Structure 1
């Protein structure tokens, strides 16, 4: 090691002479760091202002450059390390598909652990990335003074050469477009939407990301909110998060509108005074009073009977109410959030009540209209159970081609089934049991290749439909290049259909 250090010092003294000395010293430093932490491979990379990865230096187990280095990096691991702002270690990554890289998808060889070290500011978007296909032994979180010094030297060299920029990190799933030879870096474009988490509500649907962003701007106001969508789309999760971020110190009180009895409606909503009726031996607070300073959540407002609608309208208009047998009006200090499912011909919800509740209105599409969220929600629910799943490509295809009539409830039941059985590898049998997939029109009897093609074709069609046929926007939604889109259109016979129509 002393000889290595002497060689590094010699190269450092000659950095100004030629750029090849910079490449050599970066490689030597990376070798020392990799060896000290028993890694198989090492990468030094930066996220540039143009949202591309630049791999300044990479080393395989034998010390050679890693072919297509950018395609061998787990962007999920980089995202987690960047968010924490500190070094992160990820073990058993071969069991968690979120850490899967493009190279692993193609070769099937999976790394077992990853360690990511962000360089300190102002080089905060430059990372040293280590991984290995072998088990992590003698794991130590604390770096030695030598290892800390190597990271600092890397930062100083890149800063001096003005090669790295301190810009916000944004890790995205991506497709490597065309590999190009470069003397300084390998690059890969990053184009797919990052997932957004709003409490327990997660999505990567571009339409929903925009709407949830707008919702976030009014959480601290008292504006009433109406959330519509089918059962299981996450309406109550969103309502609870609005309450939590509103700054209101009162409780989140729920009224299930379809279950309230007419004879008890006033008592339930407004409360009563002592002696208001025979059994009223003491006063009682109603839901409006219990929710004072907090949020009243009106669940399934479309099921509210006419008498309840009239009572709610009166409160919304006057801003006050009176207990049963009371003599004093009480001010209303609640945030109203209502949900509305799919309306049926039997529903007789008053338009003026809907107008009153729609200070801000957001619609949550069903999962069949946003299949990009299926695997994201599955991962999120598994994380809540401190678990992770092994999902083969053919099972992913099955998941993506389901119509999900129960939306998130079905995914939750799938997770509960897996956790209860202790079986983290999703099989067709599990899907048949939990989701009844054999009744779906596009399911398990097709060969694996057909299933994958089916899922890919459906996602392309949906992207084109949602973008009105705009291929540039469709590429952005799918996270692929325009050239790749045309190849896949031709593969699925969609290019001929287009040409025939035009």
Structure 2
């Protein structure tokens, strides 16, 4: 018993009944439907491995009706079954994503052979995608070899190829979005990874952002605009900070997840979605459910499988490896290293902001580093984290110009780190012109 799900889309009851019964005896789970509209809905709910698609369906009764469904069924293997066996039609179907093309009536043995080959092809593609992801670095950005990160990577390896929704829970700055990217790379999905921060978009705009809108739907809607669900077709939709979603938006999101279909703002016809949902939050959703701030039904729709990202203090064995990696990224144009005292200082600290705080501290320290030295000291890190200038460091400057240069370097470096190296924003922060900032950076060796 193989157990794969097969969707038969055919308006001929006799063929659907006979083919369905035959494939059920072969050990498959079979679902049938008879028109394009219901096919979209059933496809979203059943998530079939294989679709047997008749091209000529009501109400149009032309091959265009079936051909229009092929791009929407891209996550499954589709075999076209029709009495219209023209060569040109077969080529069009294949160009739109069909894997094979069979003319009816189909002999049972030929149908069995075609289905077995199609499902074997799908399994092979999933395995190739998994191996390709591993070779290309599915875990890029997930630095660490300790037990906590080994568990996270094992979960990604096991869950990535599945189509289940995933909820990533963990404190702020612990790498939840990196895990979401890794899940996408470990999947067989070839569509894009699309992210939305659920708390950053006003409640009145989130429906349009997710589902798009049609021209004239509201004031300022001068043209049709696809939403993020359509943009992520064939890929992954990452709902970041799902716990920040306003309650009215939670209702709309729940309807979408229940049916797998959505309607753009200003539209009337439902459209089929083909996305994998990955969500993340640092909030305690169960406590939010108890207080009425988060819907329980939405929670269970989203959670599927849960991956928990550990706080940095729970994986201290990875700290030196992370610090070295971030320093190499921050100092691409020069060779910098940590002194032994600096590494000891890093390991001894508590990092409530987790990996994000560690990276920001190292980025700032690298920007402030004395261009005449190749070593990051504990004093550099202390200042970069906001601990002030150590007395020992202050005593090094023997003249006023040297002290002024050190202060300029530190202030400019801190402003660059705070603005992600945006020169215009850094100049505004420091109260100087952009040209003046660039001249100072050149003089201080910061460019």
1:201-220 equivalences in 2 (<5 Å): 201-220=142-161
Aligned to 2:213: 272
Aligned to 1:374: 319
Aligned equivalents of 2:299, 2:152: Cα separation in 1: 19
Do the aligned partners of 1:368 and 1:402 also contact (CA within 8 Å) in 2?
no
Aligned equivalents of 1:240, 1:436: Cα separation in 2: 31
Aligned to 2:196: 255
Aligned to 1:354: 299
Name the count of aligned residue pairs: 245
Q: Which of 295, 319, 327 is 2:268 aligned to?
A: 327
Aligned equivalents of 2:296, 2:375: Cα separation in 1: 48
Aligned equivalents of 1:368, 1:197: Cα separation in 2: 24
Aligned equivalents of 1:210, 1:279: Cα separation in 2: 48
The answer to whether 1:340 aligns with 2:285 is no
Residue 202 of structure 1 aligns to a residue in which SS? Answer: coil
Q: Structure 1 residue 303: deviation in Å?
A: 0.9
Residue 404 of structure 1 aligns to a residue in which SS? Answer: coil
Q: Structure 1 residue 236: deviation in Å?
A: 0.8
The answer to whether 1:405 aligns with 2:369 is no
Aligned to 1:435: 385
1:66-465 equivalences in 2 (<5 Å): 198-343=139-284, 348-385=293-330, 386=332, 389-423=336-370, 424-436=374-386
Distance change >3 Å, CA 394–CA 429, structure 1 → 2: closer
**Structure 1, residues 130-164: CA drift from partner, whole Å, max 9, x if none?**
xxxxxxxxxxxxxxxxxxxxxxxxxxxxxxxxxxx
More off after superposition, 415-424 vs 369-378: 415-424
Q: Structure 1 residue 313: deviation in Å?
A: 1.1
Q: Structure 1 residue 388: deviation in Å?
A: 5.6
Do the aligned partners of 1:197 and 1:203 also contact (CA within 8 Å) in 2?
no
Do the aligned partners of 1:382 and 1:388 also contact (CA within 8 Å) in 2?
no
Residue 272 of structure 1 aligns to a residue in which SS? Answer: coil
What CA RMSD, in Å, does the superposition of the two structures yield over aligned residues?
2.6
- Structure 1: runs of 5+ lacking an equivalent: 1-195, 439-443, 445-502
**Structure 1, residues 226-271: CA drift from partner, whole Å, max 9, x if none?**
1111111111111112223323222221111112222222212111
Residue 226 of structure 1 aligns to a residue in which SS? Answer: strand
Aligned equivalents of 1:367, 1:318: Cα separation in 2: 38
Q: Structure 1 residue 372: deviation in Å?
A: 0.9
Aligned to 2:128: none
Do the aligned partners of 1:220 and 1:245 also contact (CA within 8 Å) in 2?
yes
Q: Structure 1 residue 436: deviation in Å?
A: 4.0
Q: Structure 1 residue 315: deviation in Å?
A: 1.0
The structure carrying a bigger helix percent of its residues is 2
Q: Structure 1 residue 422: deviation in Å?
A: 4.4
Distance change >3 Å, CA 419–CA 292, structure 1 → 2: same
Q: Structure 1 residue 197: deviation in Å?
A: 7.9
**Structure 1, residues 82-109: CA drift from partner, whole Å, max 9, x if none?**
xxxxxxxxxxxxxxxxxxxxxxxxxxxx
**Structure 1, residues 351-399: CA drift from partner, whole Å, max 9, x if none?**
3222222222111111112111111111222333446644344333321
Aligned equivalents of 1:276, 1:203: Cα separation in 2: 49
Q: Structure 1 residue 437: deviation in Å?
A: 5.5
Distance change >3 Å, CA 352–CA 434, structure 1 → 2: farther
Aligned equivalents of 2:376, 2:283: Cα separation in 1: 31
Residue 143 of structure 2 aligns to a residue in which SS? Answer: strand
Residue 376 of structure 2 aligns to a residue in which SS? Answer: coil
Aligned equivalents of 1:340, 1:258: Cα separation in 2: 11
**Structure 1, residues 49-105: CA drift from partner, whole Å, max 9, x if none?**
xxxxxxxxxxxxxxxxxxxxxxxxxxxxxxxxxxxxxxxxxxxxxxxxxxxxxxxxx
Residue 323 of structure 1 aligns to a residue in which SS? Answer: coil
Aligned equivalents of 2:169, 2:377: Cα separation in 1: 33
Distance change >3 Å, CA 351–CA 430, structure 1 → 2: farther
Residue 284 of structure 1 aligns to a residue in which SS? Answer: coil
Aligned equivalents of 1:225, 1:280: Cα separation in 2: 34
Aligned equivalents of 2:223, 2:337: Cα separation in 1: 58
Aligned equivalents of 1:285, 1:213: Cα separation in 2: 35
**Structure 1, residues 28-63: CA drift from partner, whole Å, max 9, x if none?**
xxxxxxxxxxxxxxxxxxxxxxxxxxxxxxxxxxxx
